[in-house]
């Protein structure tokens, strides 16, 4: 039995095309979902994982599969449907799963033979068994997996050529921010894989550099932090020789022992969602956790950096409180916090989130010709109607923010302070130049976006 597991091409990667800027090699990440599914697949299936982000293959020249499984984030939905149509025309059954299939079930049911909602760990062997007997059901629901059942991902199945390997150690997030799908999809309960499983799986990863995909590697409560410390101790003891980056909340900075253990275990960078510097903005986004009174964010960032861990800060533009000038304001605040990199995204109503429900009820979803418009749901385009910012205005704010933060003057300043603080100035320089080199590509993408929206006759112009 032959199984193809496909990650459809990702418009974001194609916008900041690898060919156009070689730094973008570091932005093509492994599709871990498919590697996990492969880990759940019994040996009678011959598995090929196709990651279209490395280039779409010539499917007609490939051997005919018995089953095709397709994953998709919302922004990949259109390409996923093209692939489903291609294989279904050949009479090959197609199963779709992942975040988009879960959040837009009816849309996906119309385009695939079978849909698996939520986490597939507990249900995938059953799906394969049914496919083998020609009795696939229209819908399966995996619910939330027991973390003991999460298999080792098949790190051996993907081609070489990725800059980073990938691993997951926890699922779920209790914070339930209004714009984020994680709590709706993976639940509010923070679930942790057994530490020996994580250490063993790290050893199976070929790459020296690894992305830990957890939404929050350290968690928010005392017992989560204790577990993170145990994990880091076990990783250091296993002498993995890996360098890794992860996502965490700002409480990462609150515990010197945690930071020291993370660094010893190989942590080189952390991605932190600040979202906005305004307390009323945090309330709007439902991210009250960041509202801790008396926190000095500059000191927090500096404490993390002292352990030779880079800090990438993420902010959102387009909140109801955001007014003209917000772009420069974010660049300034990120500079004050002292983050090494800045990633700013447009506030985007992703399906299944509280923000989606709110904006839909207020008639503020401007790009709503689905499924075609899903391609703009990369958080890199303004798809909604923003309270104080027009379409052209919000794009200008984004451009001015990036230009300001990634100006040569500021880059030199950051690299110089890295040198001064005995951190790695070269990594900082390379990463900053990589962001900077994409500014030109981003501007081109915005110009195309504005042109396409301007050509439409559905009333979205000028919002």
Q: Is 333 helix (H, G, I), strand (E, B) or coil?
A: helix
Nearer to ligand B12, 127 or 415 (CB): 127
**Of residues 261-280, which lie at the interface with ligand B12 (CB under 6 A)?**
none
User: Which residues lie across from 140 on neighbouring strands?
Assistant: 116
The footprint of ligand B12 on residues 99-128 (CB under 6 A) is 99-100, 103, 116, 119-121, 124
Q: Are strands 114-117 and 94-97 parallel, antiparallel or unpaired?
A: parallel
Q: Does 32 bind ligand B12 (CB under 6 A)?
A: yes
φ/ψ of residue 36, rounded to 5: -70, -45
DSSP readout, 343-369?
EEEE----TTSHHHHHHHHTT-B----
List the structure tokens of 402: 């990036």
Query: Shortest gap between Cβ of 318 and ligand SF4 (angstroms)?
Result: 15
HEC sequence for 226-269: HHHHHHHHHHHHCCCCCEEEEEECHHHHHCHHHHHHHHHHCEEE
The contact mask relative to ligand SF4 for 269-298 (x = CB under 6 A, - = no) is ----x-------------x-----------
Smallest distance from the beta carbon of 175 to ligand SF4, in angstroms? 4
Q: Does 214 bind ligand SF4 (CB under 6 A)?
A: no
Residue closer to ligand B12 by CB (options 69, 415) is 69
CB atoms within 10 A of CB 264: 14
Phi, psi of 282 (to 5 degrees): -65, -40
* Angle between helix 425-454 and 391-405 (nearest 10): 160
Instruction: Check binding of 67 to ligand B12 (CB under 6 A).
Output: no
- Pick what 76 binds: ligand SF4, ligand B12, none; C-beta below 5 to 8 Å, kind-dependent: ligand B12
Residue closer to ligand SF4, measured from CB, 36 or 175: 175
Token reading at 77: 């939905």
Is residue 173 close enough to count as binding ligand SF4 by CB under 6 A?
yes
227 interface partner picked from ligand SF4, ligand B12, none, CB below 5 to 8 A per type: none
Residue in 107, 113, 215, 402 binding ligand B12, rule: CB under 6 A: 215
| Smallest distance from ligand SF4 to CB 449, Å | 25
* Cα distance between residue 71 and residue 6, in whole Å: 7
Which residue in 381, 313, 310, 305 sits closest to 350, CA to CA?
381
Does 80 bind ligand SF4 (CB under 6 A)? Our answer is: no
Taking CB under 6 A as the criterion, the residue among 213, 259, 317, 365 binding ligand B12 is 213
CB of 155 to ligand B12, least distance (A): 13
Burial 190-201 (b: 16+ CB within 10 A, else e): bebbebeebbeb
Query: Residue 214 is inside which H or E element, if any?
Result: none
Q: Which does 10 bind (CB under 5 to 8 A by kind): ligand B12, ligand SF4, none?
A: ligand B12
Interface positions, 373-432, toward ligand SF4 (CB under 6 A): none
CA-based torsion, 91, 93, 98, 104: positive or negative: positive
Pick from ligand SF4, ligand B12, none: which does 114 bind, CB < 5 to 8 A by kind? none
SS3 157: coil
Among 343, 344, 272, CA closest to 304:
272
User: Residue 175 or residue 365: which is nearer to ligand SF4 going by CB?
Assistant: 175
Q: How far is it, in rounded angstroms, from Cα 53 to Cα 35?
A: 15
- Residues touching ligand B12, count (CB under 6 A): 42
Shortest CB 457 distance to ligand B12, Å: 27
Residues in CB range of 444: below 8 A, 6 or more apart: none
Write down the least CB distance from residue 257 to ligand B12, Å.
26
Closest separation in Å from C-beta 33 to ligand B12: 3
**Residue 180 is a binding residue for ligand SF4 (CB under 6 A):** yes
Structure tokens given for 337: 């916090």
Which among ligand SF4, ligand B12, none contacts residue 172 (Cβ within 5 to 8 A by kind)?
A: none
Q: CA 115, CA 137: separation in Å to the nearest integer?
A: 8
Residues lying near ligand SF4 in the complex (CB under 6 A): 173, 175-177, 180, 182-183, 215, 273, 287
Residues lying near ligand B12 in the complex (CB under 6 A): 7, 10, 12, 29, 31-33, 36-37, 69-71, 73-76, 95-100, 103, 116, 119-121, 124, 145, 168, 180-182, 186, 213, 215, 345, 350-351, 378-380
């Amino acid at each position: 039995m032959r199984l193809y597991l496909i990650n459809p091409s990702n418009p974001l990667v194609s916008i900041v095309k690898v060919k156009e800027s070689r730094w973008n090699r570091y932005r093509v990440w492994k599709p871990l979902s498919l590697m996990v599914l492969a880990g759940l697949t019994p040996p009678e299936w011959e598995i090929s994982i196709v990651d279209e982000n490395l280039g779409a293959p010539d499917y007609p020249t490939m051997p005919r599969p018995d089953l095709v499984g397709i994953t998709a984030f919302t922004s990949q939905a259109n390409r996923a449907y093209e692939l489903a149509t291609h294989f279904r025309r050949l009479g090959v059954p197609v199963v779709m799963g992942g975040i988009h299939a879960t959040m837009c079930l009816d849309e996906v049911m119309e385009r695939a033979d079978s849909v698996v909602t939520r986490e597939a760990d507990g249900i995938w062997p059953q799906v394969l068994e049914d496919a083998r007997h020609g009795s696939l059901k229209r819908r399966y629901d995996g619910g939330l997996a027991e973390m003991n059942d999460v298999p080792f991902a098949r790190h051996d199945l993907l081609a070489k050529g990725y800059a980073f390997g990938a691993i997951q150690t926890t699922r779920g997030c209790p914070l339930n921010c209004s714009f984020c799908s994680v709590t709706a999809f993976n639940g509010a309960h923070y679930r942790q894989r057994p530490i020996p499983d994580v250490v063993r799986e790290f050893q199976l990863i070929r790459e020296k550099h690894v992305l830990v995909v957890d939404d929050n590697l350290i968690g928010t409560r005392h017992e989560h932090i204790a577990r993170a410390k145990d994990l880091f101790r076990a990783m250091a003891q296993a002498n993995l020789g890996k360098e890794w980056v992860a996502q965490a909340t700002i409480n990462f900075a609150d515990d010197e022992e945690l930071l020291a253990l993370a660094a010893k275990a190989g942590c080189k960078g952390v991605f932190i969602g600040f979202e906005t510097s305004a307390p009323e903005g945090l309330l709007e986004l439902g991210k009250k956790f960041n509202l801790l009174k008396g926190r000095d964010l500059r000191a927090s960032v500096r404490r993390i950096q002292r352990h030779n861990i880079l800090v990438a800060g993420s902010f959102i533009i387009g909140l109801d409180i955001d007014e003209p000038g917000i772009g420069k304001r974010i660049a300034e605040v990120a500079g004050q916090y002292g983050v090494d990199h800045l990633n700013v995204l447009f506030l985007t109503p992703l399906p299944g989130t509280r923000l989606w429900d709110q904006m839909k009820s207020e008639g503020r979803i401007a790009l709503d010709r689905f499924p075609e418009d899903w391609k703009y749901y990369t958080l890199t385009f303004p798809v909604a109607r923003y309270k104080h910012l027009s379409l052209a205005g919000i794009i200008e704010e984004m451009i001015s923010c990036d230009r300001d933060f990634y100006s040569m003057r500021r880059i030199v300043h950051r690299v110089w302070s890295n040198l001064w603080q005995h951190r790695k100035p070269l990594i900082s320089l390379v990463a900053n130049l990589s962001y900077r080199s994409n500014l030109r590509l981003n501007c081109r993408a915005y110009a195309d976006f504005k042109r396409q929206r301007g050509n439409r006759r559905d009333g979205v112009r000028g919002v």
